[in-house]
Amino acid sequence: MHYYAPKNSAICINHGQPDMVVTTELPLRQMPQAYYERDAAIIPSSYWPAALIDLAITRAIPEHKLLRHTGIFCEDFFHIDHRICPEQLLQLIHNIQKNYTANDISFLLGHQLLPSNMANLNQQLVTARNLIELIDALIEHQHIACPLINIRCTYEGNQLVICWQDACGAEDAFIFLVETMTTAICSMTRWRSNTRLPWTLYFAHKKPEYIEQYQVHLGSDLHFDCQRNAMSIARDYCYQAWTKIHTTHTDNMLPHPLNIPSKGFLTEVYDYLNNNISTAPNLEQTAADFGMSCASFKRKLKKHRSHFQAIYDAVRKDLAVYWIHKEGWSSEQVAQRLHFHDVANLRRAFKKWTGLTLLAVRH
C-alpha cells in the first residue's frame, strides 16, 4: 500500500510555507475560503465540454444520446462566453460512459486538455520554466483546468506529490477524471521537458481490466488499491530548467471567466476540517463558519453527493496514515491528536477507513 501526506503535514508548494508545525498549543480556527458549487456556471463550453463532445462524435455516439439531460445545446458552442456548471459536465461524462464501451476516452481527453485554449492558463503553461511553475499555474487556474477534481500538492521527503480530490461530487465519474488529469499532466510535462518524466502513479481503485490503456498512456510505474489517488516525482526534477521555452499567441484564445474561486465546495470543506483538526471541528461549528445553519449545510453537502461524517473521516484517515506511516507517531499520539478517547476506538475506526490495521500501516 502507498500513502501520501495531507495538506497540513507537508509544504504546500503554491504557498511555499509549512502548513502545520506540531505544537502543544491549539491554533486559531481557520475560516473557510471562497468556493464554487456543483450548480455554478463556471466551465467554458468551448474547453472541457467541446473537447469531450469532439471525442465522442469521433466514436459515433449519437448527438441526442450525448447531450441528453445535460442542458447543453450545439448552438451554445458558437458563443465564446457560454459556460456550464459542473453538474452538466458530469452528466455529459455519464452519457459518454453509458454509450461507449471502450475505455480510452479519458486518456485521449487528457492528451488534448493541456495546454488549453484559455488565454491566461495557456500562456503560463507554455512559458513555465520548470515543473514547479507549471504546477503553480494549474493550481491557480484549476477551476478551468480541472473543475471537477481539485489539485493538492505537497512535498513529502524528497518527493513532490500531487493528489486528486473530488470538488463537486463526481461519484462514478471520479475514476474517469483521475485518468484524464493524470494523463494531462504526464503529457504536458513530457512535452515541456522534452523527455518522459519518471512519475510514479497511485490509484485508489483496483487494477482495471483495461490496464493496457494505463500502460500505453501513463507508463509502467503504476500502483493500484492505494489509500490515495496521487502521482509523485523526485524533488530534483521540480526546478530543473526546461530548455525548450515556447511562445504563444493569444489572439484566438478565449478569455478566462472572472472572479471565480479556485476550489470546489467539497474541497473547501475538506480543507477547513483538515486545517482545524486540532480544534475537534463538529457539524455545528463547521456549518456556522460556513455561514449557514446545520440543516442548510447538510442540504448543501447532500447536493454535492456527500455528508459531513464522510469528509471528516477522510480527513482523519489521511492524517492518521501520514502520522503513523511517515512520521512514526505512536498510536496513542494519533488517537489523542484525532480526539479519540482511546487507542481501541482509533483501531476500529482505522480498520473501517482503510481495511488495514495500524500495525500494517506502520510497516
| 173 lies in some domain | yes
How many domains does the chain divide into?
2
- 228/151 same-domain check: yes
- 233/278 same-domain check: no
Average pLDDT over residues 312-338: 93
Distance CA 46, CA 174 (A): 22
- Please state which of the ranges 12-16, 156-160, 221-225, 228-232 shows the lowest mean pLDDT: 12-16
| 74 lies in some domain | no
- 207/288 same-domain check: no
CB 278 within 8 A of CB 27: yes
| 148 lies in some domain | yes
Question: Is a pLDDT exceeding 90 seen at residue 233?
Answer: yes
- 214/149 same-domain check: yes
| 113 lies in some domain | yes
| 245 lies in some domain | no
Average pLDDT over residues 100-120: 90
- 173/271 same-domain check: no
User: Which DSSP letter does residue 36 get?
Assistant: B
Spell out the residues 6+ positions from residue 211 whose beta carbon is closer than 8 angstroms to its own. Answer: 222
Which uninterrupted H or E stretch holds 165? Answer: strand 159-166
Question: Is a pLDDT exceeding 80 seen at residue 248?
Answer: no
Q: How many residues does the chain have?
A: 363
- 298/336 same-domain check: yes
Report pLDDT for 6. 42
Question: Is a pLDDT exceeding 60 seen at residue 250?
Answer: no
Instruction: State the virtual CA torsion across 334, 336, 340, 341 in degrees, nearest 10.
Output: 140
Assign residue 294 the CATH number of its domain.
1.10.10.60
CB 68 within 8 A of CB 61: no
Domain containing 128 equals 105-237
Average pLDDT, the chain: 88
- 223/128 same-domain check: yes
| 185 lies in some domain | yes
Between strands 159-166 and 149-156, the pairing is antiparallel
Question: Is a pLDDT exceeding 50 seen at residue 8?
Answer: no
Spell out the residues 6+ positions from residue 96 whose beta carbon is closer than 8 angstroms to its own. Answer: 52, 56, 61, 66, 105
Average pLDDT over residues 321-335: 92
- 231/269 same-domain check: no
Q: Decide which of 237, 256, 280 is a domain's last residue.
A: 237
Question: Is a pLDDT exceeding 60 seen at residue 166?
Answer: yes
- 218/286 same-domain check: no
The distance of Cα 204 from the centroid of its chain, to the nearest Å, equals: 13
- Please state which of the ranges 87-91, 216-220, 257-261, 330-334 shows the lowest mean pLDDT: 257-261
Question: Is a pLDDT exceeding 80 seen at residue 4?
Answer: no
Q: Give the sign of the dihedral formed by CA 335, CA 341, CA 342, CA 344.
A: negative
- 232/272 same-domain check: no
- 167/232 same-domain check: yes
Distance CA 363, CA 360 (A): 6
Residue 209 to residues 104, 168, 204: CA-CA distances in angstroms?
A: 12, 27, 15
- Of the pLDDT bands very low, low, confident and very high (cuts 50, 70, 90), residue 361 is confident
Average pLDDT over residues 147-155: 93
For 334-359, how does the pLDDT look when each residue is reduced to its tens digit (9 = 90+)? Answer: 999 999 999 999 999 999 999 999 99
| 66 lies in some domain | no
Distance CA 358, CA 350 (A): 7
C-alpha angle 54-58-62 in degrees, rounded to nearest 5: 85
With CA atoms as reference, report the closest residue to 91 among 71, 64, 74.
71
Average pLDDT over residues 183-204: 96
Question: Which DSSP string do the residues of 166-192 spell out, in sequence order?
Answer: ESS--GGGHHHHHHHHHHHHHHHHHHH
- 186/295 same-domain check: no
Q: Decide which of 220, 237, 254 is a domain's last residue.
A: 237
pLDDT more than 70, % of the chain: 88
Give the global pTM.
0.89
| 332 lies in some domain | yes
Average pLDDT over residues 140-169: 93
